[in-house]
Amino acid sequence: MDSGAMWMRMKAHGWAYTLSILATLSVGILIGTVVSYGVKGKEGQKSDATPLTLPAPQQLSNTFSQIAKQMEPSVVNINTESTIKNVHKRRGQNPDDEDGGDGSGMDDFFNHFFGGPGGQGAPGGPGDGAIRERSLGSGVIVDPKGYIVTNRHVVEKADRIRVRFEDDPPGVQHDAKVIGTDQETDLAVIKVDIDRVLPAAKMGNSDSMQVGDWVLAVGSPFGLSETVTAGIVSAKGRDIVPGRQFQTFIQTDAAINPGNSGGPLVNMNGEVIGINTAILSETNAYAGVGFALPSKTVVDVYNQLTGPEHKVSRGSIGIMFDAVENPAIARVYGSGSGVTVSSVVPGSPADQAGLKVGDTITSVDGKKVTKGSELVADIASRKPGSKANLIFLRNGKSQETSVTIADRARLFAARLGDDQENEDESTPKQSKFGVMVRKLTPEMADRLDMPAGKGVIVQDVKPRSFAEDVNLGRGDIILEVNKQPVNSEEEFAKVESSLKSGQDVVFLVRSRGSSKQDGTIFLAGTLP
């Protein structure tokens, strides 16, 4: 059959586009074996064509493959199951919006971390009033005894956690228990009890990494276990979530997708230099920008979570400041180099030491501080109960004071939404609503089409809390509580602390993803 007849037959079968390239390649190869410069060769005539030869097999650069073989046994697939309540529709929501999402970039804005609401879910039994939700993630073995590091969001709210190792037969999984979690860094440690020594990965020092260094990401994107992707360190010290003072990330262009979360980012020595945590994408899929929590942070958190108390303790003096340095603040307050206080928690060590809004802290125990991150790192590393000497500027004059370091988790209990024990009178009470809120930054207000300085945004909701019962969700903007405006964390906490069990609570809310034209709604209930 000639090529014209073949082509007509393909078109008759509807294959023209799919196979046209293949047909062209086939014909080209056929002609190449028969035709030489358009002249048919004679039998027995010597050709001037140089014979093609194959080179001897040789090993090209195999660094990536060696690291992959070394790391894959240490990387695990994590499967979690959890039971969540059915989410009732809110008045004013789009009836086609099944999971409360807005169908825009808001999901990326609030679900930086994989496995957010509306993940891989399966309905529970008829009439059980709950949804059985399943999610997948990754983890890395760091101790042969079965200790595994992953992300907190991979295992939080899980009723059952199961781990699959590389050499497990299909269908075999091992139950794991949570050793400890840290909300501030989104890290968790889980453990599998198993009667054999497990292959532990080697930890590296993230401080040694430079922009442009090669890295590999290992994990189970979309449930595809033992997947390895390559890229470089695109940037260091990225602050991707405003207000998260303990989350500065390594940015990489190694492909990271849902399911990679909790897996390792590895250097060319086969060492773990980060835990893959988040992506920046308008589609919730890989777009070339991924983030890993540095191993320096991971090691510190891991050692505390595996310690006797199984929790991370950080020091705090109870102040707030602008996360983004602004020269205008220094010019107005005449502060020069230092950290200018924008808020003081009532009853905190800073309050008791006499610090006020507008003071600029310039040194701690004789060590200069020029940025907020330096101050936080110094204070957070100190043990609660220890003392520190601060030098600060007030109205251009240098002053000195001594502060007693407090436990950050207890000091900011209402803001973090954590349960605390053994609280004293000087410590703000734990959250009654079970919700963590944050003041809207100008950038967030602009993106959300909100007036600057109005309302607080819901950052997290505790399971089985009052906030969850009344249907508050991440990304909602609370404008008022019982007719009282709440435009900062402090105002919100003040209103919250004044309410008692049995009282009615009414939130005036602009729902996540809604616009000004959509208006606001009430969410209400009675405090248990």
pLDDT reported for residue 21: 27
Measured torsion, CA atoms of residues 341, 342, 343, 348, in degrees rounded to the nearest 10: -10
* Residue ranges per structural domain of the chain: 3-34, 73-312, 315-409, 414-526
pLDDT reported for residue 306: 93
Check pLDDT > 70 for residue 94: no
Check pLDDT > 70 for residue 517: no
Q: How many CA atoms lie within 13 A of 198 on its CB side?
A: 30
Confidence of residue 183 (pLDDT cuts 50, 70, 90): confident
Q: How many residues does the chain have?
A: 528
Q: Which residues contact 50 (CB under 8 A, 6 or more apart)?
A: none
CA angle 399, 350, 414 (to 5 degrees): 160
Confidence of residue 44 (pLDDT cuts 50, 70, 90): low
Q: Backbone phi, then psi, for 2, in 5-degree steps?
A: -75, 170
Catalytic residue among 261, 295, 348, 511: 261
Confidence of residue 453 (pLDDT cuts 50, 70, 90): confident
CATH superfamily of 315-409: PDZ domain (2.30.42.10)
User: Across all residues in the chain, what is the average pLDDT?
Assistant: 76
| Dihedral sign for Cα atoms in the order 195, 224, 111, 280 | positive
Cα-to-chain-centroid distance, residue 377: 20
Decide which of 2.40.50.140, 2.60.40.10, 2.40.10.120, 2.70.98.10 is the CATH code for 73-312: 2.40.10.120
Q: Answer whether 46's CB lies under 8 Å from 108's CB.
A: no
| Dihedral sign for Cα atoms in the order 237, 301, 187, 375 | negative
Catalytic residue among 112, 153, 220, 295: 153
Looking at domain 414-526, its CATH architecture is Roll (2.30)
Alpha helices in 381-476 (DSSP H): 408-411, 413-416, 442-447, 466-469
Q: Which residue has the higher pLDDT, 25 or 69?
A: 69
Which has the minimum average pLDDT: 82-91, 120-129, 447-456, 460-469?
A: 120-129
Buried b (16+ CB within 10 A) or exposed e, 39-62: eeeeeeeeeeeeeeeeeeeeeeee
Cα-to-chain-centroid distance, residue 255: 15
Catalytic residue among 102, 186, 253, 476: 186
Element (H, E) at 227: strand 227-238
Is 310 considered catalytic here? no
Instruction: Catalogue the long-range contacts made by 113-116 (C-beta closer than 8 Å, 24 or more residues apart).
Output: 113/151, 113/153, 113/186, 113/261, 113/277, 113/278, 114/151, 114/153, 114/154, 114/258, 114/259, 114/260, 114/261, 114/278, 114/279, 115/153, 115/154, 115/258, 115/261, 116/153
pLDDT reported for residue 387: 92
pLDDT reported for residue 298: 94
Strands 504-510, 484-485: pairing kind = unpaired
Q: What is the DSSP string of 279-308?
A: E--SSSS--S-EEEEEHHHHHHHHHHHTST
Strands 521-526, 367-368: pairing kind = unpaired
Confidence of residue 78 (pLDDT cuts 50, 70, 90): very high
Check pLDDT > 50 for residue 429: no
- Which DSSP symbol is given to 256? -
Classify burial at 213, counting beta carbons within 10 Å of its beta carbon; exposed 0-12, middle 13-18, buried 19 or more.
middle
pLDDT reported for residue 369: 87
CATH topology identical between 315-409 and 414-526: yes
Is 261 considered catalytic here? yes
Which has the minimum average pLDDT: 56-70, 228-242, 362-376, 384-398?
A: 56-70
Element (H, E) at 79: strand 75-85
Measuring CA to CA, which residue among 203, 183, 180, 206 is closest to residue 191? 180
Alpha helices in 393-471 (DSSP H): 408-411, 413-416, 442-447, 466-469
pLDDT reported for residue 333: 67
pLDDT reported for residue 326: 65
Strands 504-510, 264-266: pairing kind = unpaired
Is 153 considered catalytic here? yes
Q: Which residues contact 214 (CB under 8 A, 6 or more apart)?
A: 230, 231, 232, 267, 268
